Amino acid sequence: MNETMITLVGQVAGEVTHRRYGDDKDLVRFRLYTKERRYDPEQRTWGNANPMYFTVNCWSGLGETVRRTLRRGARVIVLGRLSLRQYDNGDAQRFDAKVDARAIGADLTFQDVTIEHPAWSGPDDPLTQVERPEPAAMAA
């Protein structure tokens, strides 16, 4: 088995599933569909090439957020550790590609996203608390 860090851009291709292992291990999983876009200068059109599917595993807090947030068709960027496994299913050689996600973000190329921030418990304007030197003090 070969492992390396990878960044993928693609679409959630199926349902987001959840499994609980033991008392405190949660695994959220989904399939990611990704493809390469290529321009054909003779046809003057764009086309898809090299379609691939990956199983994306999300553990703990990342998994919980993915479970609440992502649905089929969502466009995402996934950063994680890629694991490739080759096996023989009797008819042909097959590959299994899995990614243990470290971070997942929205691909803003084709969608608008609203980011919710945790409630701020400090002053209304956090910059008002910064000490700003007088211009004369900066020149000295």
Per-residue pLDDT tens digits for 92-112:
888 889 999 999 999 998 888
In the chain, how many H helices and how many E strands?
2, 6
According to the model, what pLDDT value does residue 96 have? 86
According to the model, what pLDDT value does residue 134 have? 64
Give me the mean pLDDT over the 46-50 stretch.
85
Q: Binning pLDDT at 50, 70 and 90, where does residue 81 land?
A: very high
**Burial of residue 107, with CB atoms counted within 10 A of its CB: 0-12 exposed, 13-18 middle, 19 or more buried:** middle
